[in-house]
Amino acid sequence: SGQSRPMRILQFVQSAAAPGDANSAICAVDSYCANVEWAMNVGDKKGQILDAVVLAVRPRWVLELGTYCGYSTMRIARLLPPGARLVTLEMNQHYAQVAKQILGHAGLDTQVDLLVGASSALIPQLKKKFEMETFDLIFIDHWKASYLPDARLLEECGLLAPGTVLLADNVTCPGAPDYLQYVRNSPRYRSEYFPCQLEYLQVEDGMEKSVFLG
Ligand SMILES: Nc1ncnc2c1ncn2[C@@H]1O[C@H](/C=C/CNC(=O)c2cc([N+](=O)[O-])cc(O)c2O)[C@@H](O)[C@H]1O
Ligand SMILES: [Mg+2]
């Protein structure tokens, strides 16, 4: 069927999830990826850690780096307080198109602004584009080598305020050693590790939660 894995995930969500029901769309992606073919969604175990952080922060402005199929985008968007906005950046046009359709099926497209392009090009435009100052929560889940340069770029663009929370997926597997070393040793962050299993597998992974101190 669908020529790409994201397309096959979209087709399954459209057939198995109740329209307008975010939780059933999330369950459909997890069911497909646990039973049919693995995909690099944050998954339900790490997703529950992500949910807890979103609920604790109650963010007005959220940034996500790496939309892929929109799985974590849905998890975040469904928990946002009224009036809050989630900006998600995706450099692959095909993935962005799939994510847009999955978000639409889940009824979550009103809370989400999905921008197509590289984070390094888009991050410097965000303040002006959305007439905002700083993000309250940033979920980092794109190419692992981009974690550190993009964290530095966010600092330089003045998009972090004291208290801004950065939550990074996969700091153990595949790993983001340079990013970890930075946030754990910089006086500008208070960092905490949340051990967890990799999505859909019995492999060790974890997420790093780093609070910007200014
Ligand atoms: N600079 C940039 N700007 C915008 N979008 C960008 C970007 N760099 C990458 N992206 C997008 O972010 C996603 C990449 C995720 C890499 N994750 C991974 O490689 C990954 C791998 C495993 N794994 O191998 O087990 C497990 C995981 O949870 C993972 O997230 C893709 O959709 C890609 O197009
Ligand atoms: Mg990931």
> Does the CB atom of residue 208 touch ligand 1 within 6 A?
no
> Does the CB atom of residue 116 touch ligand 1 within 6 A?
no
Exposed / middle / buried, residue 140 (Cβ in 10 Å: 0-12, 13-18, 19+): buried
- pLDDT tier for residue 1 given thresholds of 50, 70 and 90: low
The answer to whether 40 touches 90, Cβ cutoff 8 Å, is: no
- The per-residue b/e assignment along 171-182, b for 16 or more CB within 10 angstroms, e otherwise, is bbeeebeebbeb
- How does the average pLDDT of the chain come out, rounded? 97
pLDDT digits (tens, 9 = 90+) for 177-192: 999 999 999 999 999 9
pLDDT digits (tens, 9 = 90+) for 111-125: 999 999 999 999 999
Q: In the chain, what's the furthest Cα-to-Cα distance?
A: 51
Token representation of residue 199: 């999505």
For the CA of 201, the nearest atom of ligand 1: 25
pLDDT digits (tens, 9 = 90+) for 189-204: 999 999 998 888 888 9
Phi, psi for residue 17 in degrees, rounded to 5: -100, 140
The answer to whether 115 touches 135, Cβ cutoff 8 Å, is: no
pLDDT in the model for residue 201: 87
- pLDDT tier for residue 22 given thresholds of 50, 70 and 90: very high
pLDDT digits (tens, 9 = 90+) for 24-68: 999 999 999 999 999 999 999 999 999 999 999 999 999 999 999
Residues taking part in catalysis = 141, 144, 169-170, 199
> Does the CB atom of residue 162 touch ligand 1 within 6 A?
no
For the CA of 41, the nearest atom of ligand 1: 28
> Does the CB atom of residue 5 touch ligand 1 within 6 A?
no
pLDDT in the model for residue 199: 85
How many other C-beta atoms lie within 10 A of the C-beta of residue 191? Answer: 17
Which residue CA neighbors atom 21 of ligand 1 most closely? 40
- Residue 87, CB-side half-sphere exposure with 13 Å CA sphere: 23
The reply to whether omega before 81 is within 30° of 0 (cis) is no
pLDDT in the model for residue 2: 75
Which residue CA neighbors atom 24 of ligand 1 most closely? 174
pLDDT digits (tens, 9 = 90+) for 125-168: 999 999 999 999 999 999 999 999 999 999 999 999 999 999 99
ipTM (interface pTM): 0.99
